[in-house]
Amino acid sequence: MNGAQSLIRTLVYGGVDVCFANPGTSEMHFVAALDTVPEMRGVLALFEGVVTGAADGYGRMADKPAATLLHLGPGMVNGMANLHNARRAHTPIVNVIGDHALSHKGFDAPLESDIDALSEWTHGWNRTSTDSAVIGRDAAEAVAAARTAPGRIANLVLPADVSWGPDGVVASPIEPPPPSTVDESRIAAVAEVLRSGESTVILLGAGATRERGLLAASRISVATGAKPLIETFPARLERGAGLPTIDRMGYLSEQVQWQLTDVKHLVLVGAKAPVSFFAYPGKASELTPEGCKVHTLADLGEDVAAALESLADSVAADAKPLLQEPSRPALPSGVLTPQNWAEVIGALLPDGAIISDEANTSGLMIPMVTAGAPRHDVLTLTGGAIGQGLPVAVGAAVACPDRPVVCLQSDGSAMYTISALWTMARENLNVTTVILNNRAYAILRMELMRVGAEGAGPNANSLLDLSTPDMDFVKMAEGMGVPATRATTAEELAEQFSRALAEPGPHLIDAMVPSLI
C-alpha cells in the first residue's frame, strides 16, 4: 500500500469520506488511490475557493470534517479566503495540501512556495508528513485535531514522494478530547447576575445557536427577563416554527449600540464581546457600553450547550421556552422590491431547508420573514471574505442530500466563486440559488457614505457599480449546466422558486432586485 492509499483509508476509517478536490500533478498518486478506496467520494471543483468553501458548508452541516485536496501553495492560496471564513466558523476541515517531493524541495521549481506560512495563516493544526509509513498516523491526528472542540482547520502537507512511497500503514481513528465542562462556580456566578434583575444580554455564539442552546437560552430569558441575542454571523443557526426565535446582533455598530442600550451585563456563551466590523473615523471599535460588565459563561472549546442548560436549570427550572408559532408572509405581487423578494422566500421556504446566506444588503428582511417558516438552518458569512455562499451551498447539499438547499446570493459576491455552479450540476445537487442581482456593490455604496470619505464622485462610484455591463446570471448558469430563469416580479419569483424546489438538481433564479442604496 502506498502512502496515498494509507492516507485515504485512514481518513475513511476516521469517518472522513468526502474529499472536495482540485488536484494537480503532485497529487496524482492521491487521485489514483481514490480507485482503491471507493468509500471516499471525490468531488471535483474548478477552483480551490469552491473546494474550501464546500468543505466549510459540509463541516457545518455534517458535524464532521470533509477533506480537501489542494495543489501546492498556489492552489492553497486560492482556497484561503474561504478557509478564513471556516476558521471564523470553527468548522472542522482536513486540508491535504500536495507538495513537491521532499527530494525536489530544494530546487525552487516554478510552483515552489512557503506552504508552512500559509498553514500558519489559517490558525490551524499543521503537519508536513515526511514518511509514507507515518502518513496514516499523521492523517489520524489531523482528523482528531479538526474534530477537537470547537472545530478547526487541520493542514496536512503531503509531499509527492510520501504519497507514492511504499509501506503505508492505515492508522486507527484517534478520539478527540471532549469539550471541557464549565465549572459549577462560573455557572453560579452568572446565575447570580441574572437574579440581580439588572438589564442583561446573553450573547450566543458557536455551540449555542442550535436547538439545545436556543431552548435553554429561551427558558432563561422567560424566567429572568435577560435578553438573548445571536452573534452577528453565526456559523449555523437553527430556527423556524417550533424553535425560539432569537434576534441576531446587528452588523452596523449603530444597531449593536441600540441593542445594548442601558445593558448592565453582557453574558458571553461561545461568543466574543462585540466589536465593530470596520473602524470609522471618530467612532468606537468596542461596542460593549460603558459600565456594562462582561461575563463569560462558556468559551469556545467548552461544552457551551451543557453550560447553558445547567444555567437554565439553576435560574429557570420551571420555565418553558418561548417557541415560534408557524407563520408565513402572504405571497406578494408586483415588481421585485427589497422587501417582496424576501417575502416570497418566507412564504415558500420548504421544510428542513438549509439557507446559505450571502445576500448581504439585499437580505436585510430575510430573518424577519422566515422566522415562522418551517424549521431550517441558516449558514452565514462568518469571516467577511465574500464568495462563500455558492461553495457553502455545495458542501451543505453534499452533507445533507435529502434536504433542500437555498442559496441566497448577492451578485458581486457570487462572481468570486461562480464556478461552484458547475459542481452543483456535476453532482446534481439540490440547490436552488437565488441571485440578488442589484447591479452594484451596494454595501460599499453604504459604506462609502458611512466612512465620511471626502470628494467621492463618478470615479469612486464607478468602482462600486456592476451595471456596465450588466451581468446575465441565466446565461452564466446555463453555461455551467445549471437550468436558470430570470424573475422581475414577485409572481415570477414565486413560480420559479416553487418549480426549482419541486425538481431535483440545481437551479438558479436571476432575481432583478433594486439596490437599497
Which of positions 461-480 make contact with its own copies (CB under 8 A)?
462-466, 468-476, 478-480
Q: Positive or negative, the Cα torsion across 208, 360, 255, 453?
A: positive
161 binds its own copies (CB under 8 A): yes
Amino acid at the residue 323? L
Q: Choose the binding region for its own copies from 215-223, 277-285, 317-325, 401-409 (rule: CB under 8 A).
A: 277-285
Minimum CB distance to its own copies, residue 471 (Å): 6
Q: Which of residues 94-113 bind its own copies (CB under 8 A)?
A: 100-101, 103-104, 107-111, 113
| Exposure of 298 in the CB half-sphere (CA atoms within 13 A) | 31
3-state secondary structure of 490: helix
Minimum CB distance to its own copies, residue 57 (Å): 17
Q: For residues 343 and 357, which CB has a smaller minimum distance to its own copies in the complex?
A: 357
Minimum CB distance to its own copies, residue 439 (Å): 12
504 binds its own copies (CB under 8 A): no
444 binds its own copies (CB under 8 A): yes
Minimum CB distance to its own copies, residue 342 (Å): 24
Q: For residues 449 and 502, which CB has a smaller minimum distance to its own copies in the complex?
A: 449
Q: Which of residues 57-96 bind its own copies (CB under 8 A)?
A: 73-75, 77-78, 80-81, 84, 88
18 binds its own copies (CB under 8 A): no
Strands 237-239 and 376-380: antiparallel
Grid cell of 412 as nine digits = 458581486
Site string for its own copies, 289-328 (x = CB under 8 A): ----------------------------------------
**Could you give the CA distance from residue 250 to residue 203 in angstroms, rounded to a whole number?**
12
Q: For residues 138 and 161, which CB has a smaller minimum distance to its own copies in the complex?
A: 161
Tracing cell 466574543 back to the chain, one arrives at 272
Say if CB 379 and CB 235 are below 8 A apart: yes
CA geometry: angle at 279 spanning 276 and 285, to 5°? 45
Grid cell of 249 as nine digits = 446582533
Q: Choose the binding region for its own copies from 17-25, 140-148, 177-185, 241-249 (rule: CB under 8 A).
A: 17-25
Q: Which of residues 164-183 bind its own copies (CB under 8 A)?
A: 164
Beta bridge partners of 510: 435, 486
Q: Choose the binding region for its own copies from 206-214, 292-300, 369-377, 460-468 (rule: CB under 8 A).
A: 460-468
3-state secondary structure of 102: helix
- Residue 332 is classified by DSSP as -
Nearest to 56 by CA among 117, 124, 127: 124
| Exposure of 193 in the CB half-sphere (CA atoms within 13 A) | 27
Exposure string over 495-510, b if 16+ CB within 10 A, otherwise e: ebbbebbeeebbbbbb
128 binds its own copies (CB under 8 A): no
Number of residues that bind its own copies (CB under 8 A): 103
Residue of 61, 134, 260, 418 interacting with its own copies (CB under 8 A):
418
Site string for its own copies, 372-401 (x = CB under 8 A): ----------xxxx-x--------------
Q: For residues 42 and 173, which CB has a smaller minimum distance to its own copies in the complex?
A: 42
Q: Which of residues 329-358 bind its own copies (CB under 8 A)?
A: none
Residue of 178, 291, 457, 504 interacting with its own copies (CB under 8 A):
457
Nearest to 419 by CA among 451, 386, 394, 382: 394
Q: Which of residues 37-56 bind its own copies (CB under 8 A)?
A: 38, 42, 44, 46-47, 49
Instruction: Find out whether the peptide bond into 150 is cis, omega within 30 degrees of 0.
Output: yes
Say if CB 163 and CB 7 are below 8 A apart: yes
